[in-house]
Chain A
Amino acid sequence: MTRDEIHDTVVEILSDSFELDRADIKLESTLYEDLDLDSIDAVDIFVQLRSVTGRRPDPAKAKEIRTVDELITFVEEELAAAERGDPEPDVQLPDGSTPPE
């Protein structure tokens, strides 16, 4: 996927999921202020992004993301990691804990 394609996909997911006008989703838009998302919305974004990246998102990295641009970069990095066959981060339960062995 090129960066442009990733951009289009991210915009599509954001606009479809959160009733946002595509024109309002700019590279520099911040997710939590400009686009008015909250932490539960963020969970939903990362669930949806799995269908693009094919990987469990790394929660530490995901937490750092502030803007649409950073989100696109994140997807790009995840795709590269998938390409390299990097191991996925450990399973995280929905409440953020890890399952007992």
Chain B
Amino acid sequence: MSNNPRSSTTHDVVICGGGLAGLTLARQLGREQPELRVAVVEPSRRPLPMVTHKVGESTVEVGTNYLAHTLGLKPYLDAEHLPKNGLRFFSGDNRGPFVDRVEFGPFEFPPVPSYQLDRGKLENDLRAMVEEHVDLREGVKVSRVELAESGSDDPHRVVIEGDDGEQTLSTRWVVDATGRRHLLRRQLDLGAPSRIDASSSWFRVPEKVDVAELVDASEERWHTRDNHGNRWLSTNHLTGPGYWVWIIPLAGDHTSIGIVAETEHHPFETFHTLEKSLEWLAEHEPALAKRLEGVEASDFLVRKQYSYSGKRFLSTDRWAAVGEAAFFTDPLYSQGTDYITFANTYTARAIREDREGTLSEELVSLANQFMLRLFEANEDILARSGNVFRHADVFGTKLLWDYYYYWAFMAAWYFNRVYAMDVERQRRFLALGDEYARVSRYIQETARAWAELRQHDGWKARTHVGLPDTLSVITDLHMQLDVQKDPDAAEARMREDLEGAKEFAAEVLYRALIGVGPENAAELARRVDLASWDLPLDGARVALQEGSRVARRGGFSRVARDLERLMGHPPGNGTPLARLLEQALGRRVEAPGLQARA
């Protein structure tokens, strides 16, 4: 490494912890910088148990692209793990017949793929793959890390302990990948609280649990619309007041089932044992509980208040924290592997630039800012959303926005290789990200207030919303991921989609106002601080709300039209939208295109 004679160190990079984050980073470094001397230190030994090894089976677009392409694992994943049929949500009356719940999910495999992983199998296999080029120490744990003085070029020392006693490795870089052991987080005081207050319990069962079994065979249309019988290959979510439940298939006909609930709605003590979890399911998800009667769980685990943030994950002092060692937000959208992807990728870049003598404080600071913004964006999306899960119209509208946001900004960051661009350009993307975050906050706050103040049905019940296999603005964003773009085109596209995002926010506001009605329009405006919003509201669009379908189709933006196609035309509550908006804003919105800001 530039100033340091290599002979004074035993390694260039020591990765503490060989879970998903540590092993994938080892493989990435091995592929991209094969001359590095990398060690992975991991206390557990093979063979790791299949199925029950760890939680976190479902991947989404970013993590999948990383595993499949950056790490070259596509043939392996195709052969050994399950293809995933997207995310699927069943929302609405949790205690009524399952067939009546509104279903959000695709019936063709989404164009951009993802997987359901067996974590035990994956980690066994990754160990076998990386040990060819990495110094893999199994059955050895890191007892402490002695970091070199900040700003110096001295090596770090990593003290490890195995069967043959203690040993010290000296290394230029040290990476904390010890998950919840948080080796560096404590030492360097990197922790920060999260606004998400929720807990989880989960167990695996040794059989296939198909969500289709929760609906009687006589419900032909429900079964026929999934004509390939692939619902079970989705990450299935059942949402209800204050909670959601996952059903994830694992290879070899096992199934992972978990409860995630906000403390405010469901104290942890109501589901913190297997027995209580089953009782809890019987109360809140009776159809699933019935299906599980007599089924023996293979394991049972819990995480109380699982969410936590961090101050930073990367330093010019040649350390990094990746995976759960740094952050964990929330499992709802299966983004754990996405966080690993971003942290590993920035870490790999920093290690390379350090060798080349170009590593700058600017890059490290930008990487830290990006990860923190990602965390905050997800906090905005997920904190205090318990009431949103209660109503299918509110939840569905929010869900479509969360997809929009993920594909237009978060996933686009990875697919367009923004992390590899120069710092100046990345700063511009980050500034765009702040705009997206602002719009998202409007939407999340509106959804919360809407859920709490709701008086009227927000739609004429759609029974199934088939994203992303329905042509729409949102599906287009998903498909755009796989379209290679140069940095200028990527930036232009992200900027363009921001305009759509603002239209989206206005549409959510209109739907919420119709949902809360004249009774609560002013209160909704107060709760979301509507007066401070900087968002174009178009009087001409508003006036069309009560117009004919053909008039709306002619006058609506693409976003407005797609929301209506996917979520239906709200039946209304007798008060025209223009009037509701006037009550909310305390003044009229004129046509066309006047700013809402006074």
Contacts of A55 in B (CB 8 A): 227
Known A-B contacts A19-B549, A47-B466; the reply to A95 vs B224 at CB < 8 A is no
For residue A80, CB closer than 8 A to chain B, the reply is no
- How far does the alpha carbon of A19 sit from the alpha carbon of B553 in the complex, in Å? 12
Known A-B contacts A91-B108, A94-B475; the reply to A44 vs B224 at CB < 8 A is no
In-complex Cβ contact of A51 among B225, B549, B553 (8 A)? B225
B111 and A44 form a contact (CB under 8 A): no
- How far does the alpha carbon of A36 sit from the alpha carbon of B222 in the complex, in Å? 28
B227 and A54 form a contact (CB under 8 A): yes
Chain B residue at minimal CB-CB distance from A20: B549
Known A-B contacts A47-B466, A55-B227, A95-B476; the reply to A40 vs B565 at CB < 8 A is yes
Known A-B contacts A16-B460, A18-B549, A36-B550; the reply to A93 vs B466 at CB < 8 A is no
Measured as residues with beta carbon below 8 angstroms from the partner, the interface class of chain B is 20 to 34
Query: B229: shortest Cβ distance to chain A, in Å?
Result: 10
Contacts of A56 in B (CB 8 A): 108
| Complex interface residues of chain B between 99 and 129 (CB less than 8 A to chain A) | 107-109, 111
- How far does the alpha carbon of A55 sit from the alpha carbon of B464 in the complex, in Å? 16
For residue A65, CB closer than 8 A to chain B, the reply is no
B479 and A51 form a contact (CB under 8 A): no
Contacts of B108 in A (CB 8 A): 56, 91
Known A-B contacts A18-B549, A40-B565; the reply to A47 vs B470 at CB < 8 A is yes
Measured as residues with beta carbon below 8 angstroms from the partner, the interface class of chain A is 20 to 34
For residue A52, CB closer than 8 A to chain B, the reply is yes
- How far does the alpha carbon of A44 sit from the alpha carbon of B464 in the complex, in Å? 12
Chain A residue at minimal CB-CB distance from B113: A99
For residue A50, CB closer than 8 A to chain B, the reply is yes
B contact patch SS: loop
- How far does the alpha carbon of A55 sit from the alpha carbon of B227 in the complex, in Å? 7
Contacts of B221 in A (CB 8 A): 51-52
Chain B residue at minimal CB-CB distance from A92: B108
For residue A33, CB closer than 8 A to chain B, the reply is no
Chain B residue at minimal CB-CB distance from A99: B111
For residue A4, CB closer than 8 A to chain B, the reply is no
Query: B470: shortest Cβ distance to chain A, in Å?
Result: 6
B479 and A93 form a contact (CB under 8 A): yes
Mark contacts of A12-44 with chain B using CB atoms, 8 A cut-off: 1 yes-contact digit, 0 otherwise: 000010110000000000000000101010011
B111 and A93 form a contact (CB under 8 A): yes
Q: Which 7 A-B pairs have the closest CB atoms?
A: A51-B225, A54-B227, A94-B471, A54-B224, A51-B221, A19-B549, A94-B475
Given contacts A43-B470, A47-B466, A91-B108, 12 further A-B contacts (CB under 8 A): A19-B549, A36-B549, A40-B471, A43-B471, A50-B227, A51-B224, A51-B464, A52-B221, A53-B227, A94-B471, A94-B475, A95-B479
